[in-house]
Structure 1
Amino acid sequence: MTRLLRVVKITRALRLGAALLRWWRGAAADDQPQKLPTNMGKKLAEMNTLQVALLNMITVTMVILLQYEPPYEVPEAFVSSFEPLVGWPSVELQPLVDNLFSFFDADRVTAGRTPVILTVGQHTWDRSVQLGGFTGRSTDRLTVFSANQQVSLVLNAQKHNHEVAYLNILLALFVVFELGVFIAVLNNTALTMLVKPLERIVDLLRTNAKRVLSALEVQQDWDHNEIKMIEAAVVKMVRIVQHVDSSGGQGLHLLQGYLDDVKTDNLTREWLSHIAADTDLPAEGPEAMSDRRTTGEVPTPHEMQHLRTLKAITSVRDREQAQVAASTAHPDAKTDAMAGPAALHSMRIRRLIHEVDGGILDSWDFDVFFFTPEQLVAHVCVMFMRLGLTATDVATFSKVTTLAATLGQEGSIAAFAAALEHVESQPGYANEHSLVNIEVLWNFVEAVSKVYQHVPYHNLFHCMDVTHATYRFLMLTRERMHMTRLEQLSVLLAAVSHDMDHPGLTNAFLINSRHELARTYNDSSVLENRHIASLYSLVVTNPDLDVFRDIDKQMWKDARKLVINCIIHTDMMHHFPMVSKVEVFFELHQAALRAGSSACEAGGMASAFAAPEDRLFLLAVLLHCADISNAVKPISISEKWADRVLEEFFAQGDREKAAGLPVSPMMDRKTTSRSMSQINFIEFIVAPLFAQVVKIFPELKVTVHTLWDNRRTWNERYLQEVAADTSKSAPEKEAERAEFSGA
């Protein structure tokens, strides 16, 4: 009977469990009718849930079978039946007692519990001796009392306890077996649904994504933690993939993020869109055009006019040198007159270079507005010398000047020539690896400085400022990159020439106004192509200005490729793609860059800088950083450039109004805030790029610190502008103060 009751209850439990399982699976199917391959986790969780549910059902079933304890009410019933008989004589009770013992001894309802001692009132029937007594365990002795405590029955539960112990042992063995089977099934499920696919993924990654895996942290033990390796590789690939849109463009997600930001005002959105308006145009350099000029084909009329301008510049320079020679020559110094203007020119170069303060060149406090154009030319020449690109260094120039003072009258060309001849005759005087002659370099920089137009911003002073920033970047990063001398020469020459003949107008204006330059260069990086063409027209048509004349043909090609690439990438059209590419470069080479820091300290080079295309790109990044480096200079310098760039922008805005064209963003003098223009320039242009660049070149971290100092300064000034603005209401001012006070 007891076993039958157990089976009935188990059947009911199984039916209930099956119904719940059908309901759960139906609900899951309704929620997600089709399991996609990307739902690996959900599939695995579903399978594990089913297995755990099955495990629970089997366990519950076995517990019910092996530990079911039915209510044992028979002894209580018999004890209660004797309760009215208390006080009867033992003779009358004896037949009832015999029937009781006979009933229990038949083992029908005892369930392993045998009556041993019965007490009714004052009468006791004890069978302990007959049945062998009790064991020493208290759990084997069970006593049942009547309600009035006058009747008691002592049972021997030894047999029952043995049965329970056997069943418990059996249950424990079953659970161990069940768990073993469950673990095996679970492992097989995980192997089928997770491990094998992941192994295939790992094999694919190792085979086809070596650059991604090589970019992971080298100190991680990926062989023993492949899941984390896969996760890290996938995260890195996602970061890389998000930089490229469906059309193959790169960096537009950065711009879109700024445009979608609710905190970006409409004027800023318009300005950002204006900057990236030509991102769909090809970034072609002026290779074909420049090659045409250097192979003897007929220049266009516009090019002929430019060549005539350059020749006029060199003629003016020669006349100026002759005048200086005539005015400085001593009347009685016949040897000075015989020395001619060449010696005078050489002396002038050396004296101006001797006066250059190298300490100021190696700091960010270099302010181009403190110097004359001639002094700036000397400073630029010293930059080339300090990089070891010329035949002589600054110390040699100092020796010549000092020796000349001891050989004759101060200012005597003859004395200077004698001193120069003596110094140059010394062993080890010349740098046998020099790439450019100092006098040719001087002539070149001087000629280039005269090509720059007299516009508020893109003028000679901007050229010199960017050249200095480029020099600083080269000095700080060349050891880490193991830059070649040709790379340094090319980048610095690109800096000197990067805005030659700039008209103070944007590419967009030239294109929209159908300017001759836009027609000449097919609307593609118009100004940048113009700057490159101006550079090569100058050096090809004037041998005494050819700074590339001392390098061989292959080096000339390499230098030209580098110069073109660097100057083309100063076009703001390439800015956001460049930020994106720098971030991708860091993602791909993060581990190599960190390992390269130690290699750099030991005189080695990080593998991240080994690929030629990466070096070409990073050098262009450095020049572009220098081109927009106003914001990373001390505020006393930075604010001067802020005023000048706005002056140039406003001049273009005035021309646009006069021509009936829409006024470009940030170029309307009536609506543009000086401080806000700098805040936007820092936050959306400079900071995103420098934040990535310093990850690759930690030597440049000081620029980021200065950048944020300037950002706070401009923020304070903007709040002052808001307070002084009479066109805004008090609530509007308070809202702006609240927004910018925490910036």
Structure 2
Amino acid sequence: MHTQRNYDLQRRGDPMGIALIWSLVVMLVRWMFSKRRGAISYDSSDQTALYIRMLGACVIFKQLFSRDVRVRSQVGFEPERRGSHPYLCVDFRTLHSRSENARPVPGRRVHRLFSFQRHLHSSRRLHSATTWPYNPLHILDEDYLGQAKCMLAKVGSWNFDIFLFDRLTNGNSLVTLTFHLLNQYGLIELFQLDMVKLRQFIVMVQEDYHSQNPYHNAVHAADVTQAMYCYLKEPKLAKSLTSCDILLGLLAAATHDLDHPGVNQPFLIKTNHYLAALYRNTSVLENHHWRSAVGLLRETGLFSHLPAEDGLNMERQLGSLILATDISRQNEYLSKFRRHLDQDDLCLGNASHRHFILQMALKCADICNPCRPWELSKQWSEKVTEEFFQQGNIEKRHKLEVSLLCDSQSNTVGDIQIGFMTYVVEPLFSEWARFSDTRLSQTMLGHLGLNKASWSGLRASGSLEEPEPEPDPDPPPPPAPGLAQEPQPQKIPPPEP
């Protein structure tokens, strides 16, 4: 009788009957999302809950459940599920091109299809970010950010505390920050990006960063994105970059370490990882980050409403930016940058020169931690050293040659940071200051000098607190009683390329 009454009420349009049906739909949504790794919380305190409920189940389920096609690492160790071990048997996203015979999925009607190349020269709106009539869209989630929204009001400050912001957004710093910046620049409306696809893309990007990595995780990606925004605001860039440049710069910053396994390229090469063979031991991780980002772009169809040629051009330029973050090519990019500055021939009206400056800006953003205030810089230094030492422990456990800087017995945080600042960070940021001699550049160099002096002082006083090395679960058996153990020659690891 009760069921029949609800059915009759529903047929008459009774609100109580509709509410009952809607509650059943929400319960179904919760159950289906809980079956997927990285599912979005439906708790009322979650800032994304209202937005996802608004989308409904029928729009995005098919896309969400068809993803996560993975292949296993070929390092020869016992296979494990992704997320259960961050280093050895890492699952990586494979990029599947669309079938040539597959029919295109009809998208929403677009009133104006445009070509980037054509409109870069014909539309004033695309020539300068400073001339846009900023009119950001009203996003529902922004009403529920609370303290995080107050922090976003100062997102252009170099003292921006990304760790605090990540806590205030319940671990969604990359999603919240990237969506906010794209909206603030008016890029969502300008490029007619579908809100659902964009949100899905950014959420999937954040999910594909490994949260168990001490350093290369979504918080690092958010930190790099915030630094990139600071550089995009510099006068030389702000008056020269096009909207396409800004969109690529922000997307490259958010995806530059996508699906990072927490180990470096030499580790993948010496363990005969399939990615090393796929990319012929050249920019292995950077190529994988790029291809993973392209895979998500195609999976969500974020640029599907644009002409195919423009979409491919965006993917190629995104790859060029991400590949520039390869630290082994640091001297190559730095020499080219220095040569341009010496000859004073950089012309930001030239598309190739603007792209090169974007590459240098992303390189600076990627390694800007030593240029942050001490309280932030020290945290990043400890996290990256912890990740190094975890790799070293894995190499020892499996009788592999320990990579440079990864041996916790012969390296300290202070030694690693002082060397990194001296030989990598300082030369790059000195040249950046020559290109953009602003208050921000001087602030970064000032923090760099103070942080280097702080690490030197801690090392001299012997008060460095090193991260505790990960305990070895499989220690070698002790020598038999009464038998003398012969000393083993110590191997000196070759310098990392």
Q: Into which bin does the TM-score normalised by the smaller protein fall?
A: 0.5 to 0.7
Match of 1:374 among 172, 179, 184: 172
1:660 CA drift (Å): 2.2
Q: Distance in 2 between matches of 1:323 and 1:471?
A: 31
Q: Deviations over 1:219-264 (max 9, x none)?
A: xxxxxxxxxxxxxxxxxxxxxxxxxxxxxxxxxxxxxxxxxxxxxx
Match of 1:565 among 317, 320, 336: 320
Contact map agreement 2:458 2:464 (CA 8 A) in 1:
no
TM-score of the two chains, using structure 2 as the length reference? 0.63
1:481 CA drift (Å): 5.7
Match of 1:509 among 264, 267, 270: 267
1:515 CA drift (Å): 1.0
Q: Distance in 1 between matches of 2:388 and 2:256?
A: 19
Which residue matches 1:690?
429
Contact map agreement 1:325 1:344 (CA 8 A) in 2:
no
- Amino acid across the alignment from 1:363: S
Which residue matches 1:476?
234
| Alignment partner of 1:710 is 2:451 | yes
1:452 CA drift (Å): 0.6
| Alignment partner of 1:385 is 2:179 | no
| Alignment partner of 1:588 is 2:343 | yes
Q: Deviations over 1:599-648 (max 9, x none)?
A: xxxxxxxx622333322221111111100010111110011111110111
Greater relative contact order: 1 or 2 (C-alpha under 8 angstroms, separation 6 or more)?
2
SS of residue paired to 1:691? helix
Which residue matches 1:533?
291
Contact map agreement 1:690 1:704 (CA 8 A) in 2:
yes
Contact map agreement 1:321 1:341 (CA 8 A) in 2:
no
SS of residue paired to 1:532? helix
Larger Rg: 1
1:340 CA drift (Å): 6.5
SS of residue paired to 2:347? helix
Change (3 A) 1:353 1:471: farther
Match of 1:351 among 128, 131, 143: 143
1:375 CA drift (Å): 4.6
1:455 CA drift (Å): 1.0
- Amino acid across the alignment from 1:447: M
Q: Deviations over 1:551-595 (max 9, x none)?
A: 444432332222111111111111111111110010121xx6xxx
Contact map agreement 1:353 1:378 (CA 8 A) in 2:
no
1:471 CA drift (Å): 1.2
Contact map agreement 1:349 1:442 (CA 8 A) in 2:
no
| Alignment partner of 1:464 is 2:222 | yes
Q: Distance in 2 between matches of 1:328 and 1:717?
A: 43
1:376 CA drift (Å): 4.1
- Amino acid across the alignment from 1:388: G
| Alignment partner of 1:452 is 2:213 | no
1:368 CA drift (Å): 2.0
Q: Deviations over 1:174-206 (max 9, x none)?
A: xxxxxxxxxxxxxxxxxxxxxxxxxxxxxxxxx
Gaps of 5+ in 2: 1-31, 61-137, 467-497
SS of residue paired to 2:187? coil
Q: Distance in 2 between matches of 1:686 and 1:380?
A: 25
Which residue matches 1:365?
159
Gaps of 5+ in 1: 1-311, 331-335, 392-432, 593-606, 726-743
Q: Distance in 2 between matches of 1:329 and 1:563?
A: 31
- Amino acid across the alignment from 1:488: I
Q: Deviations over 1:682-718 (max 9, x none)?
A: 1100000110111111233321122112112112112
Q: Distance in 1 between matches of 2:48 and 2:255?
A: 32
Contact map agreement 1:353 1:379 (CA 8 A) in 2:
no
Contact map agreement 2:214 2:387 (CA 8 A) in 1:
yes
Contact map agreement 1:666 1:672 (CA 8 A) in 2:
yes
Structure 1 range deviating more: 531-540 or 620-629: 531-540
Match of 2:368 among 618, 622, 629: 629
- Amino acid across the alignment from 1:514: N
Q: Distance in 2 between matches of 1:677 and 1:632?
A: 15
Match of 1:669 among 400, 408, 414: 408
Q: Distance in 2 between matches of 1:562 and 1:674?
A: 36
SS of residue paired to 2:340? helix
TM-score of the two chains, using structure 1 as the length reference? 0.43
Change (3 A) 1:680 1:496: same
- Amino acid across the alignment from 1:621: M
Q: Distance in 1 between matches of 2:48 and 2:393?
A: 47
- Amino acid across the alignment from 1:356: K
Q: Distance in 2 between matches of 1:646 and 1:328?
A: 33
| Residues 275-674 of structure 1 mapped to structure 2, 5 A cutoff | 316=36, 320=40, 341=56, 348-352=140-144, 356-357=149-150, 358-370=152-164, 371=166, 372-391=170-189, 433-434=190-191, 436-453=193-210, 454-477=212-235, 479=237, 482-543=240-301, 546=302, 548-589=303-344, 608-674=347-413
Change (3 A) 1:631 1:313: farther
1:329 CA drift (Å): 11
Q: Distance in 2 between matches of 1:555 and 1:469?
A: 27
Q: Distance in 2 between matches of 1:723 and 1:377?
A: 35
Count, aligned residues = 348
Contact map agreement 1:691 1:704 (CA 8 A) in 2:
yes
1:318 CA drift (Å): 10
SS of residue paired to 1:666? coil
Q: Distance in 1 between matches of 2:159 and 2:230?
A: 11
| Alignment partner of 1:720 is 2:478 | no
| Residues 69-84 of structure 1 mapped to structure 2, 5 A cutoff | none
Contact map agreement 1:675 1:717 (CA 8 A) in 2:
yes
Contact map agreement 2:43 2:49 (CA 8 A) in 1:
no
Q: Distance in 1 between matches of 2:38 and 2:215?
A: 28
Change (3 A) 1:482 1:675: same
Q: Distance in 1 between matches of 2:436 and 2:48?
A: 48
- Amino acid across the alignment from 2:329: H
1:458 CA drift (Å): 0.6
1:324 CA drift (Å): 5.9
Q: Distance in 2 between matches of 1:660 and 1:497?
A: 33
Quick check: which one's helix share is greater?
1
Identity %: 28
After superposition, the CA RMSD in angstroms is 3.5
| Residues 127-276 of structure 1 mapped to structure 2, 5 A cutoff | none
Change (3 A) 1:342 1:651: same
Contact map agreement 1:356 1:378 (CA 8 A) in 2:
no
Change (3 A) 1:328 1:349: closer
Contact map agreement 2:173 2:219 (CA 8 A) in 1:
no
- Amino acid across the alignment from 1:575: Q
| Residues 56-95 of structure 1 mapped to structure 2, 5 A cutoff | none
Q: Distance in 1 between matches of 2:49 and 2:460?
A: 59
